[in-house]
Structures are given as C-alpha cells and as structure tokens.
Amino acid sequence: MFIVLTKLASLTRPLLKDKSVLVIPTSVDLYQEGDLGSLNLKGLGQYLGEKTSIPFSLCGDIFEGLIEEKIDRVADQFSRTKVIDPRRRWIPREPLQGEIDYERRRIKNPGWRVFGNLYEGVFYQRIISDLVLGNRLDLRHCTLLFTNQLFGTWDRVDQRYHARVSLYGFPHLISISGLVEAPAKPKEFYLKKQRGIPLERLKEEYQGRFLDYGDQRMTEALKGYVMQALFLHLTGSPFCEDRDCRLFNSHWQEEVIRSQLNGKYEFCPKHEAILERLRSNSGRYDRQG
C-alpha cells in the first residue's frame, strides 16, 4: 500500500469534473493458478469492462511456459512459504524434499486441485510477482491472480495468521478457497462442529448461508473483490464502509452474501459516481502508458 501511494503522485491523471485523481491502467491482466472450479474468469473480465471501460486480458496459467530450472526454484520457494502453525509467526525453514516435490507437481499440473496448505501471503505474492509476464507489473497494468490455494497474513493484534480472500498489491491475489475459509461462518456452525457433528451434515443444515466449494455464486461474489483490487489501483483505497457496497471489507460470510449478492445496490453512490465518471470519460484522457 505504501509503495502504491508513493508512485501515485507522479503517475496519476485528474478526472475531468473534480479534483480527485485516478491511476487508470491500460488493461487488467487476469492470471489463474490451479483448479478454479466453476469460476468464470472471462465473465469477471467482461464485468470489469462493463463497469469501468478498461479492457482486460486473460493471461492463462501463471506457471505456463516456465523452464525446468525456474520450476525447481519456484517449488523450493513455495515450500519455504508454508505456515505450519498459524499461532506462530512464519520464519524461514529448510523444506523437506517431499514438500518441494509436492510444489513441483502442483506447478507442473495446470488445474491442480489439491489445496489446504496455508501460505504466508506476502511472501507468496512476492513469488508470484516474479512470474508475471515481463514488464507488465507496473501501474499501466492491473494484474490479478486467481488461485485455489490458501494464503494468510499475520495479525499483530491477536498474534496469529488469518486466512484471506485477497491480498492487494503487485500483483493482486484473490483466493477462491479463501472466499470459503476466510470469512467466518455463522457462530452456531462452529459450536456444532466442536460438538462433533460431521461437516457434511452442517453444510446441509446451513446451506445458502455461506459460500462453499463449487458454489455457483462464486463468480458473482468475486466481482466485488475484483473491483476492490481495481479501486486500490485507481484510488489507493480498495474498501468502502457501506455494507451494501461491493467494496465492503467483509469478515463474515453473511456480510459477503449481503455486500456481493443481496445488497441494496452494487456500489454505494460515492463509488458508483466514480465508476460512472470512468465510463463517461473513457477515451477523453490519457491512460497510463
């Protein structure tokens, strides 16, 4: 975030009707990692286009075309990025060969389905940043990676890792497993789980009250996260305090469902106005590049 704001000063363009400034990318690049289930990446890109008039490109698998030497290096890096105990801050650890081999298989198999390791989000982002196609990790491109892997960040307040849906920066990371695991489910769900009620039964009982793997609502729910990433790029601020706005920073599944699926509107008047200006002014001012 700090890096973004520093760069904003020299690279922003004023909007025509007010004094606010936006950093408008020439394109939004969408990468993917692993099996994304029913997620419609093209649909997300089209949605972005409709809302902002910014073109998008589908860049495919983030690992595509890596040479063996690079695969070895990246596998080694990923295996070192695993958080073993969420209650302890991650420290570098020498990985076992089996862990590196697992990451190698993951990288070499597009559409890899297995997940469950929690990775250190900031370091994960750093590894991914090195894989983005040459010279495209800059303010002219808004780069997003959609992954089925789970990452978290350390919370200094309660001294533990928390899984995250998204980690915004260069590039922006959005996790579909994070969308299921990170926002908390209803409290009673966890109480019943503690009492030993099988997960499958609980899922039936609470069906619809949280997003689950393979949920058909996933694409719709992620539209807001894509817009949060873009708003960080545009304005330096990804979130909105309005619970009905797609930019609301949800911590509970019920908040996700409200802000992304059942809100009074898609965007609050303030953010809708920014989008409207973007659309109406498209082509009337220079984009980055």
Contacts of 285 (CB under 8 A, 6+ apart): 13, 14, 15, 16, 24
What is the smallest separation between the CB atom of 84 and other proteins, expressed in angstroms? Answer: 4
Residue choice 105, 251, 270, 279 for contact with other proteins (CB under 8 A): 105
Q: Is 86 in the site for other proteins (CB under 8 A)?
A: yes
Q: Is 118 in the site for other proteins (CB under 8 A)?
A: yes
Q: Is 198 in the site for other proteins (CB under 8 A)?
A: yes
- Where do the H-state alpha helices sit in the chain? 2-11, 41-52, 68-80, 97-108, 121-129, 176-181, 187-194, 199-205, 218-235, 253-256, 269-280
C-alpha span between 77 and 170 (Å, rounded): 18
Residue choice 82, 172, 223, 246 for contact with other proteins (CB under 8 A): 82
- The CA-to-CA distance between both ends of the chain, in Å, stands at 21
Residue choice 117, 228, 259, 288 for contact with other proteins (CB under 8 A): 117
What is the smallest separation between the CB atom of 159 and other proteins, expressed in angstroms? Answer: 15
Contacts of 204 (CB under 8 A, 6+ apart): none
Residue choice 68, 69, 158, 200 for contact with other proteins (CB under 8 A): 200
Classify 142 as helix, strand or coil.
Answer: strand
Residue choice 50, 64, 85, 276 for contact with other proteins (CB under 8 A): 85
What is the smallest separation between the CB atom of 116 and other proteins, expressed in angstroms? Answer: 3
| The two structure tokens encoding residue 249 | 């920073």
Q: Is 270 in the site for other proteins (CB under 8 A)?
A: no
Stretch that binds other proteins, among 84-92, 131-139, 182-190, 245-253 (CB under 8 A): 84-92
* 139 to 178: interface string for other proteins, x by CB under 8 A: ----------------------------------------
Q: Give bridge partners of residue 147 from the DSSP assignment.
A: 33, 175
Residue choice 50, 64, 101, 155 for contact with other proteins (CB under 8 A): 101
By the 10 Å C-beta count (0-12 exposed, 13-18 middle, 19+ buried), 213 is classed as middle
Which residues are near other proteins by CB under 8 A? 82-86, 93-94, 96-99, 101-102, 105, 113-118, 196, 198-201, 204
